[in-house]
Chains A and B, each alone.
Chain A
């Protein structure tokens, strides 16, 4: 377990995201894992080629959700630093909408935390993606939120 609190850098940004080095890199960190999710080119059968994605969020809850997930990942996987940046607004083809970066004592924990974070984000954080095609727009069908919802 790390001896000091993990560094958490969680942000919603109004532009595409990019990789960043951690300013502080604790000596206990032997493994660092970075995931970037990018807009890939697609063709819709009715609306033509994808131009870009456009993201919106329930911002205060999305920030709270990402911070809670980061704390959970840090605790469960012993991470010493976690960064989650997510873009809002337009994200052109090839640009990145999400950055998940984990720093842990060993690679296994860094990979596991990174995988947990991107999967959990996609299943419960209130962020939505609109697909803007050459001829029309659609909302991504998305995933109904069940994780983290109490039974009653």
Chain B
């Protein structure tokens, strides 16, 4: 199944892209997606502990299962205000 991934701010700059797409096996979790992305993108591996993940615009834990066609947003440390 296909999962779309959005990147922002310092993380997007470090990766050099604002969006990615990954193919995952059925039953994959957010943790599985992050592990895959960390293998292929060094900045995600380095920053992983500081990244929160949102599934379809809501924060989720890493055990959450992803669905075909869903959008995961990787949220680096926030600095609004």
| Interface positions of A (Cβ within 8 A of B) | 37, 55-58, 60-62, 64, 86, 97-98, 118, 121-130, 139-146, 148-152
A143 to B57, Cβ gap below 8 A?
A: no
Cα A89 to Cα B8 in complex, Å, equals 14
Excluding A118-B81, A123-B78, A127-B78, 4 further A-B contacts by CB distance (< 8 Å) are A62-B80, A126-B73, A144-B77, A149-B59
B13 to A58, Cβ gap below 8 A?
A: no
B13 to A149, Cβ gap below 8 A?
A: no
Chain B contacts for A130, CB-based, 8 A: 9
Which 8 A/B pairs are nearest by Cβ-Cβ distance? A127-B80, A142-B77, A142-B79, A128-B9, A152-B63, A140-B79, A145-B52, A139-B10
- Proximity bits, B7-28, A CB within 8 Å = 1, else 0: 0111001000000000000000
| Interface positions of B (Cβ within 8 A of A) | 6, 8-10, 13, 49-52, 54, 57-64, 73, 75-81
B13 to A139, Cβ gap below 8 A?
A: yes
A-B CB contact pairs (8 Å), 14 listed: A57-B80, A58-B8, A62-B80, A64-B57, A86-B81, A98-B80, A122-B81, A126-B78, A139-B13, A145-B77, A149-B52, A149-B60, A150-B61, A152-B63
Cα A97 to Cα B64 in complex, Å, equals 34
A146-B52, A149-B52 known; A126 and B75 CB under 8 Å?
yes
Question: Residue on B with the closest CB to A127?
Answer: B80
Q: How far is the CB of B62 from chain A (nearest CB, A)?
A: 7
Cα A123 to Cα B61 in complex, Å, equals 17
Question: Residue on B with the closest CB to A63?
Answer: B57
Question: Residue on A with the closest CB to B56?
Answer: A61
Q: How far is the CB of B79 from chain A (nearest CB, A)?
A: 4
Cα A66 to Cα B6 in complex, Å, equals 20
A98-B80, A152-B61 known; A144 and B8 CB under 8 Å?
no
| Contact among B13, B73, B80 with A122 in the assembled complex (CB-CB below 8 Å) | B80
Cα A61 to Cα B62 in complex, Å, equals 18
Cα A86 to Cα B63 in complex, Å, equals 32
B80 to A55, Cβ gap below 8 A?
A: yes
